[in-house]
Structure 1
Amino acid sequence: MSFDRSVKIAPSILSADFANFGAEIEAVEAQGADWIHVDVMDGHFVPNLSFGATTCAAIRPHIKTVMDVHLMISPVDAYIDGFAQAGADFITAHVEAGPHIHRTLQAIRAAGAKAGVALNPGTPASAVEHLLDICDLVCVMTVNPGFGGQKFIPLASKIAKLRAMIGDRPVHIEIDGGVTPQTAKSCVDAGADVLVAGSAVFKGGSVSNPAPYGENIRAIRASVA
């Protein structure tokens, strides 16, 4: 997987039809999705439950692009191998999820996946300063994690600080939470290159009527052009 900083749209399947994940993924990829974002929640680190490694393994054959797995769980380390074996291309853990995030990132890479580190809205950019040489992605949460459809928290200055710290390292900056055509531009202008969007992509469409997925993706892309 070669590195590039072009803007990538990563629909979150948290907003898809849970009974139809395979077809939803195929539909949204056909409509222009660059990555597929999988939100894993444990009801402990965040106040919601979603799905685990067995679901990731089941949907992996339907994903032709990139499987981007976001672990909103604590503890993390015991589950890394399971998600890697399920086919995750990226595995992202939260800096707040445990005391040894450096070890967690090492373990993700050792398992064969690209390593991501996520920051909750109240966590400063400086929390990942000493992790940038062992990660491949920094995920900036622009909502408090746990639920889809929340209002965007503007954090352009935090994104810009991260972009400056990353420099020429091949590290993506991903934005997760409240991304719409109205909010995406400030994030990309500050240095982001991966935009996670759930309801903003899936609204108005379905497997039997996927055209709105494409319209929604193109609207986000056009807003940052």
Structure 2
Amino acid sequence: MPTQSAIKIAPSILSADFADFGREIQAIEAQGADWVHVDVMDGHFVPNLTFGPQLCKAIRRHIKTVMDVHLMISPVDTYIEAFAEAGADIITAHAEAGPHMHRTLQAIRATGKKAGLALNPGTPAEAAAPLLDLVDLICVMTVNPGFGGQKFLHSQIDKVRSLRAMIGGRPIHIEIDGGITPETAPLVTAAGADVLVAGSSVFSGGSVERPEIYGRNIRAIRAAVETVAV
């Protein structure tokens, strides 16, 4: 079970001010963010269109922590090198995005980056079993990917628990993406998650002019998990 001090909070810039990414990133990091989560969507694999490698390259210089790039795209292999060159520290691809996930994860690691595997809500934990020796992170989608601000799917908590048991002593993060709030964060950390992606629950009410609200929101999530991550 992760300790409270090991829990990482990764605000998703999908909920930030797109016109002011540099200052938004600086603000969340100054207010306690551990990682910066970048949701890349292609309008094909998911029903939304967001960022590409050039945007990642442009914001890289503002990120002092970890650039966590989540590729919700298909095909994915042809873009791995571009996102690696853009400065991603972690590149996560979806198990559902292509037929040869071993090859995809090997390609990510070949760039020197950490490799993540994302699982949609309808994909069972068992899909990760043959890939555990190739991943550094498993991202459990607790909403259907494509949009921010969706409600948390409680059905995914058992998946987190199964993955934590499956991982055993391997140094693999379990990341949760979707619907994280002070109410849902304890549920997934108790099940074994140690990275929490939070979009609207971090950025809501704040701005680069009022960054202390980002800090208050981040601290609220941290405080919520203190009672269960021991």
TM over 0.5: yes
Partner of 2:139: 139
1:1-225, aligned counterparts within 5 Å? 6-154=6-154, 155-225=156-226
* 1:136/1:172 contact within 8 Å kept: yes
RMSD, aligned CA? 1.0
Q: Which amino acid letter does the alignment assign opposite residue 177 of structure 2?
A: D
Q: Which amino acid letter does the alignment assign opposite residue 21 of structure 1?
A: F
Structure 1 SS opposite 2:222: helix
Q: Structure 1: where are the runs of 5+ without partners?
A: none
* 1:5/1:172 contact within 8 Å kept: no
**1:118-160 deviation digits (Å, cap 9, x = unpaired):** 0000100000101010100000000000000000001111100
Q: Give how far 1:186 is off.
A: 0.6
**Counterpart Cα distance in 1 of 2:5 and 2:178:** 20
**TM-score, length of structure 1 as denominator length:** 0.98
**Counterpart Cα distance in 1 of 2:190 and 2:35:** 20
Q: Give how far 1:39 is off.
A: 0.1
Structure 1 SS opposite 2:6: coil
**Counterpart Cα distance in 2 of 1:22 and 1:116:** 25
**TM-score, length of structure 2 as denominator length:** 0.95
Q: Which runs of 4+ in 1 moved over 6 A?
A: none
**1:152-194 deviation digits (Å, cap 9, x = unpaired):** 0011111000000000101000000000000000100000000
**Counterpart Cα distance in 2 of 1:216 and 1:73:** 30
Q: Which amino acid letter does the alignment assign opposite residue 210 of structure 2?
A: N
Structure 1 SS opposite 2:143: coil
Q: Which amino acid letter does the alignment assign opposite residue 149 of structure 1?
A: G
**Counterpart Cα distance in 1 of 2:171 and 2:56:** 26
* 1:25/1:63 contact within 8 Å kept: yes
**Counterpart Cα distance in 2 of 1:152 and 1:179:** 7
Q: Give how far 1:30 is off.
A: 0.1
Q: Which amino acid letter does the alignment assign opposite residue 208 of structure 2?
A: V
**Counterpart Cα distance in 2 of 1:64 and 1:42:** 26
Q: Which amino acid letter does the alignment assign opposite residue 131 of structure 1?
A: L
Structure 1 SS opposite 2:133: coil
Q: Give how far 1:5 is off.
A: 7.9
Q: Which amino acid letter does the alignment assign opposite residue 70 of structure 2?
A: H
Q: Which amino acid letter does the alignment assign opposite residue 175 of structure 1?
A: I
Q: Cα distance 1:110–1:197, how it changes in 2: closer, same or farther (>3 A)?
A: same
Q: Structure 2: where are the runs of 5+ without partners?
A: none
**1:89-143 deviation digits (Å, cap 9, x = unpaired):** 0000000000001100000000111000000001000001010101000000000
Q: Which amino acid letter does the alignment assign opposite residue 193 of structure 1?
A: D
